Amino acid sequence: MNKSDKILKRLELLHPKKIDLSLTRIRKLLSKMNNPHLNLPKIIHIAGTNGKGSVTSFLRSIFESAGLQVHTYTSPHLIRFNERIRINSKLISNRELSLLLEECESFNKGEPITFFEITTAAAFLAFSRSKSDIVLMETGLGGKFDATNMIEKKVCSVITPVSMDHMNFLGTTITKIAQEKIGILKNSENVIVSKQQKSVRRILRSEIKKKRIKLFEEGINWKILEKNSRQKKFSLKFDEDQYEFSYPSLFGEHQIDNASTAIATVLSLKNKKIKANIINNGLLKVNWPARMQKLDKGKLSKFTGSGFEIWLDGGHNIEASSIIQKTFKIWGRENIFVILGMTIGKDPAGFLSGIIKSITGLFLLPIPNHQYIQPYEIKQKVESTFDMKFTAECCLDIREALTSVKRKFSSGKILICGSLYLAGEILKEDGFKIT
């Protein structure tokens, strides 16, 4: 374990709860640190339930293709914490991370603060000390009381599709969750709004009108006109102008929607240096692991051989399940095996409800180093909920699950899903490196 990992372990002990939504503790800490969050480059703040990570990734790739310097803050990480903080597009080094964390720790003086709050403070400190053209700041959970919402002024806020997730923290209805998400709209020059349910649109429009912010809304100010799957092109209208772009490198039709949100965000900034060809290059170069990622070059494929394809997706809610369902339709009549692990608080039966009839087998896993729903609990729940033609199987780890699939079948597609935390563990097992 390196020095930064040891410090991160210490910081996890500063608060009894992993999540305790409030801005009081981080505001106090940032004040002691001379408010680094008030001394940042131009900020784009991204919130939503689904697609916010992909939109952030598209934005980073587009800005980098334009030759801009980009700071990025995302969460959670997949393999190592450094992924959360990119300084001018490069992952923060272990040494720099250690120094920043120790500095935040010394200012905090052992007072209660959540892990996400103090590490967000570290990101603010890092970004304030390095010149950049733009900061991409992704919320961790919700918006209103998310630690990232300490930032005061933004060139743009982005709201990706809002749906039911984290109900134990954000509320049990879509409107309550939307009320939390719109908390990031304060002091924004522009707001980009992706496809939303009608009730969410009403809440967003009302809040944006109150704050007198320039709104760019999907379906009104911008929209996808056509998707040409044969030529791998899609056309997009923004205001009065029409553009054509290549399908992005990320797999799945839903990524075209995420790409369009990022494109609308870039176009709303009216940076004349970022032309359509640069945006297109960004779409083709984007890389975002564990979002319908094919694992065909790593260690895990050796357990299944050439008859199987292994896919990995961090999706864990109903909306993600509906996207997976569309993918299964594209895959057709092949054998499809789902390897699933979920953290406490998630709804395995709800997640599986739309896809259970399409799969040939279900294999359930624990998630090392995280609070997970026991595989046998998921097994009992799904077998009492659904009329299945197979028996769900509990496995100790991914290798046992893959070996079991190969022992019983000769070919098919394997999807590992249910949690970004599980996805991170899978990438470690596969030997994948994020740079």
- pLDDT per residue, tens digit, the chain (435 aa), is 789 999 999 999 988 888 788 899 999 999 999 999 999 999 999 999 889 999 999 999 999 999 999 999 999 999 999 999 999 999 999 999 999 999 999 999 999 999 999 999 999 999 999 999 999 999 998 889 999 999 989 999 999 999 877 666 677 788 999 998 999 999 999 999 999 999 999 999 999 999 999 999 999 999 999 999 999 999 999 999 999 999 999 999 999 999 999 999 999 999 999 999 999 999 999 999 999 999 998 999 989 988 999 999 999 888 899 999 999 999 988 999 999 999 998 999 999 999 999 999 999 999 998 999 999 999 999 999 999 989 999 999 999 999 999 999 999 999 999 999 999 999 999 999 998
Residues 297 and 279 in one domain: no
Residues 79 and 197 in one domain: yes
Question: For the whole prediction, is pTM greater than 0.75?
Answer: yes
Q: Which of 261, 285, 309 is the last residue of a domain?
A: 285
Residues 226 and 317 in one domain: no
Residues 327 and 397 in one domain: yes
Residues 417 and 270 in one domain: no
Strands 308-312 and 42-47: unpaired
403: domain CATH number is: 3.90.190.20
Residues 162 and 265 in one domain: yes
Strands 154-159 and 188-193: parallel
Number of domains the chain contains: 2
What is the extent of the structural domain holding 300? 293-430
Residues 303 and 267 in one domain: no
Residues 317 and 169 in one domain: no
Residues 161 and 199 in one domain: yes
What does the DSSP 8-state code read for residue 326? H
Question: Read out DSSP for 286-319?
Answer: ---TTSSEE--SSSGGGGT-TTEEEEE----SHH
**Taking phi first (over 0 means left), then psi (-120 to 50 degrees means alpha), and beta for anything else, what does residue 345 get?**
left
Residues 206 and 298 in one domain: no
Q: Is 174 helix (H, G, I), strand (E, B) or coil?
A: helix
Residues 280 and 308 in one domain: no
Q: Where are the beta strands (DSSP E) in 292-411?
A: 293-294, 308-312, 336-340, 361-364, 393-394
435 within a domain of the structure (yes/no): no
418 within a domain of the structure (yes/no): yes
Residues 259 and 302 in one domain: no
Q: Of 165, 139, 141, 143, nearest to 319 (Cα)?
A: 165
Q: Which of 224, 250, 285 is the last residue of a domain?
A: 285
